[in-house]
Structure 1
Amino acid sequence: MIPRLLGFLLLALPLAAQSRVAIETELGTLEILLEDAKAPRTVANFLRYVDAGAYKEGRFHRTVRPDNQPQNKVKIEVIQGGAAREDRDFPPIPLERTRDTGLKHVDGTLSMARDTPDSATSDFFICVGDQPELDFGGRRNPDGQGFAAFGRVVKGMEVVRKIQARPAKAQALTPPVKILAVRRLPAGS
Structure 2
Amino acid sequence: MTISVLLETALGSFTIAVDDAKAPVTAANFLRYVDDGLLNDAEAYRIVTYENQNPQSLHKIEVVQWGYHTTDDRPAPYPPIAHETTEMAGLSHKDMTVSMARFAVGSAASEFFICIGDQPELDFGGRRNPDGQGFAAFGQVVDGRETVMKIFAEAETGAGNEYKKQPVKFTRVRRA
Would the TM-score normalized by the shorter structure come out above 0.5? yes
Matched with 2:167 is: 176
Which consecutive segments of 4 or more residues in structure 1 shift more than 6 A? Answer: none
Matched with 1:40 is: 24
Unaligned runs of 5+ in 1: 1-16
| TM score, norm. by length of structure 2 | 0.92
2: CA distance, partners of 1:84 / 1:146: 21
Matched with 1:20 is: 4
Task: Let me know the Cα RMSD of the aligned residues.
Answer: 1.2
Question: Which is bigger in relative contact order (C-alpha 8 A, separation at least 6)?
Answer: 2
| TM score, norm. by length of structure 1 | 0.86
Percent of aligned pairs with the same residue?
54
Deviation at 1:71, TM superposition (A): 2.2
Count, aligned residues: 169
Deviation at 1:87, TM superposition (A): 2.6
2: CA distance, partners of 1:101 / 1:84: 26
2: CA distance, partners of 1:162 / 1:53: 24
State the Cα deviation string for residues 60-100 of structure 1 (Å, max 9, x = none): 00000011112211000000001165434200000000011
Q: Which deviates more from structure 2 when the two are superposed, residues 134-143 or residues 82-91?
A: 82-91
Amino acid at match of 2:105: P
Higher-Rg structure is 1
Deviation at 1:160, TM superposition (A): 1.2
Matched with 1:67 is: 51
Q: Which one has the bigger helix percentage?
A: 1
Are the equivalent residues in 1 in contact too, given 2:44–2:67 (CA < 8 A)? yes
Are the equivalent residues in 2 in contact too, given 1:167–1:175 (CA < 8 A)? no
Unaligned runs of 5+ in 2: none
